[in-house]
Amino acid sequence: MARTFLEQLREMTVVVSDTGDIEAIEKFQPRDSTTNPSLITKAAEMPRYSEIVDGTLQQARKELGDRADPKQVANLAFERLAVAFGIRILKIIKGRVSTEVDARLSYDTQGTIAKARSIIQQYEQAGISRERVLIKVASTWEGIRAAEVLEKEGIHCNLTLLFGLHQAIACAEAGVTLISPFVGRILDWYKKSTGRDYAPKEDPGVQSVQTIYNYFKKFGYKTEVMGASFRNIGEIEELAGCDLLTISPELLGELNSREGQLERKLDPAKSKAMNIERIAMDKATFDRMHAENKMASDKLTEGIEGFTKALVNLENLLAKRLTEMEGKPEPALAGR
């Protein structure tokens, strides 16, 4: 009997769903799940999740009081909403959910640490073990330093917006639990820069993840590699065997409908045998490699700005929803 690519992929890679849509998670049954402000916004706009959104807003209003500005309430509600969706998701999946720290704290080590502790505290108050939560933090030098502190406290981190080997090595040496190199965004940069298309085998995003995976396995780092941000299933096929892959419901559907033989492309035994030079990583080396890698520096900045914009949009959406619920005049919202 023919087997689907998704069935075969599950045997060599942990499949993670990249969505805030609980129904999609129920359909594909990933082991882990990850969300971000854009995905939470999409879910929050779906009528079937209005109960979660409205309940979260009411709780935030109760905490801050009737005199608090709707934008203040919306800011608190964002964090609460991400956790609320995380709790719902954890009722479906067997593994972990990733919940993101406010992107506006990407260059603030102490702010990131405080926000991560707050998120974990909310999960634990809901009876969720910290072992089932990954705190998503941008892979800036400051974010990596925050993750190093958090990991020592037993707060596990998923370092996101990762585009270069220097970021990956710094994360591994900091003892980070998991990294999320962004395949599709790397491809986007190169397509725009060169004006050409890339076959999956020569896809720069695919090659970046392969390089990181081989480096980690060669030198025995425990940090897990989770390829993210895919544009097509060809990229996924080339990374079959990676520790984890986080995949959108649309691409999960394509993998589930394709049959044939899926070849394993990444294997730790093969990585061990490779001739790879070890790089000593410190801040000076990190900064130098980051400056030399225009793609990584461009995409990190762009990613933080994009996540920040998505967060502001979500807060605006929540503030508008709150005023509608309370029957008050709508406030002047940012970004209009």
Residues annotated as catalytic are 136
Long-range contacts of 167-170 (CB under 8 A, 24+ apart): 167/139, 167/286, 167/290, 167/296, 167/300, 168/212, 168/215, 168/216, 168/223, 168/225, 169/215, 169/279, 169/281, 170/139, 170/141, 170/144, 170/281, 170/286
Alpha carbons 246 and 160: distance in angstroms, whole number: 12
Residue 64 is inside which H or E element, if any? helix 50-64
34 forms beta bridges with 18, 98
Question: What is the C-alpha to C-alpha distance for residues 68 and 319, in angstroms, rounded to an integer?
Answer: 11
Collapsing DSSP to helix, strand or coil, 228 comes out as: strand
DSSP state string for 163-205: -SHHHHHHHHHTT-SEEEEBHHHHHHHHHHHH-----GGG-HH
Kindly state the tokens that stand for 173. Answer: 């040496």
Q: Which two tokens stand for residue 159?
A: 């370092």
**Nearest-angstrom CA–CA distance, 229 and 234:** 13
Main-chain dihedrals φ then ψ at residue 32, nearest 5 degrees: -120, 170
